[in-house]
Chain A
């Protein structure tokens, strides 16, 4: 694969195309998926708090709803960025042939790839931020904390968007997208310290869970409650995954367009 140069206009123009589709049907596109983390937040937050009370996190007692709020922001990021990258890009690549059409315009592969990637990241960012706003309204996350967490939400969205694109480039049939969902996304969504501190897991499972990228994102998003001592490594871990996923995704998609 030869990386072709990207132009800011080219990347923006591809991103803008996806945004126009989203804008035309934003209610359908936007509300149901975002409602998911919000429903979890409300259901588990209000439903389980009376049963659980608080959880032990980094040596302090934290109300349960406050504990899961950052986890739900991360879940919104994961689902929206991954699904846009995986399903929507797969459809644009294999059914609608949007990528192929774009490459008849003066756009490079890198323009189209980055445009798709950044769009998936945009959807993750929208979902994460809206979930965060609900947490703010419910007084579970401070408004200033949400603003300061925005770079983390963007970083997570880029990572899981790239993971989605890798899946879109790797599978041959749309049903096969279910495989990484059941093998990676669902375990990650449940085990990464989203609903409970990972300390409660058996040692081996805890080690695996600690290494999941979503675990790093959840830990970092929980910064208003304190950060584990290894947090700089969590950040590097996310960046490393991001670079790896984006590179692999480009390597898988390129041969589908160029021969």
Chain B
């Protein structure tokens, strides 16, 4: 089993709490060596979906197949090959950093010298070897997240779930964490990442599912999504009347939406310079031309849903 590569497939997952639907018909497959991102605002159903994948949330409809196991009925068996980093910090404050790993390894039947060796390897991997004897309370936020990740890797899992792993971390700590995620991917792990950071999703994910109100509103690789939904470039414009800007956008086949105190206008590749010059001719207070990103995609997709 350990050498066989396992796929994880979510089939039409639904979750309803009372009358409130939280997840509505999510399906996807996660392959070994692939990073799939669930990207969406708070309350989009990301954590509920992850809960269904590892077995603490029972779907109202649909199921999850991971290799030979179905969730949640075969959760304990499936979790022998899963690594789970939950959103909340649940490290053991009763133990040192090192013992957090060796004692948790016991649950995977890794004991004695083997547990100590594995703990040592993982602390080196997440760069915490010099903190082995520290108490968990003495660690910074970023160190704690890295230790939770190390704990999730004790069993050399084939699938790793990272639920908002870098929320609340400073930029350096996020970079450190991203490096680890890329290392895991290179070692052949399938990774499911939930995040509300667009840059994180864009940087790490091979494929993204954009979630809103429990539904996948679009999916694809970050580049393809951006290219398909927005194009290559956008302009941020302030200080031009909305009507005028909309007329201009329409004339050049672009899309325009209010954004902060101004507007966001796509610059279609064939007419980008023409449209840019036309906007510039009206002397806006602020004008910025930049590459399109996932944030723009989300704005366009959810904006169109809200209108």
Contact = CB atoms under 8 A, between A and B. Distances in A.
Interface string B92-108: 11110001000110111
Contacts of A96: 90, 92-94
B84 A20 contact: no
A20 B95 CA distance: 9
Interface in A119-153: none
B14 interface: no
A259 B106 contact: no
Given A104-B86, A105-B108, A106-B77, A20 B103 contact: yes
B19 to A, nearest CB: 15
A10 B80 CA distance: 12
Contacts of B91: 101
Given A4-B75, A100-B86, A259-B17, A105 B104 contact: yes
B193 interface: no
B58 A259 contact: yes
Contacts, number: 81
Interface string A81-116: 000000000000000111011111111100100000
Contact of B51 (A20, A21, A107, A259): A259
Contact of B56 (A16, A24, A257): A257
Contacts of A98: 90, 92
Contacts of B94: 21, 24, 96
B67 interface: no
Contacts of B104: 101, 105
A17 B76 contact: no
Interface in A7-62: 7, 9-10, 13-14, 16-17, 20-21, 24
B132 to A, nearest CB: 16
Nearest to B148: A101
A233 interface: no
B109 interface: yes
A43 B78 CA distance: 56
A97 B17 contact: no
A17 B103 contact: yes
A2 B72 CA distance: 10
Contact of A101 (B51, B78, B90, B99): B90
B130 interface: no
Interface residues of B, number: 35
Contact of B106 (A7, A16, A24): A16
* Most chain A Cβ neighbours within 10 Å, of B56, B76, B109, B155: B76
A259 B72 CA distance: 11
B67 to A, nearest CB: 13
* Most chain B Cβ neighbours within 10 Å, of A9, A101, A103, A108: A101
Nearest to B88: A97
B57 A106 contact: no
A74 B89 CA distance: 38
A105 to B, nearest CB: 4
Nearest to A9: B109
Contact of B107 (A13, A100, A257, A259): A13
Closest CB pairs A-B (n = 6): A97-B90, A101-B90, A105-B107, A104-B84, A106-B79, A21-B94
7 contacts: A4-B75, A17-B92, A96-B90, A100-B90, A103-B55, A106-B155, A258-B57
Interface of A: 2, 4-5, 7, 9-10, 13-14, 16-17, 20-21, 24, 96-98, 100-108, 111, 257-259
Given A17-B103, A105-B79, A105-B104, 20 more contacts: A2-B73, A9-B109, A10-B107, A13-B109, A14-B107, A16-B106, A96-B92, A96-B93, A97-B90, A98-B92, A100-B90, A101-B92, A104-B152, A106-B79, A106-B107, A106-B108, A107-B107, A259-B17, A259-B51, A259-B58
Interface of B: 17, 51, 54-58, 72-73, 75-80, 82, 84, 86, 88-95, 99, 103-104, 106-109, 152, 155
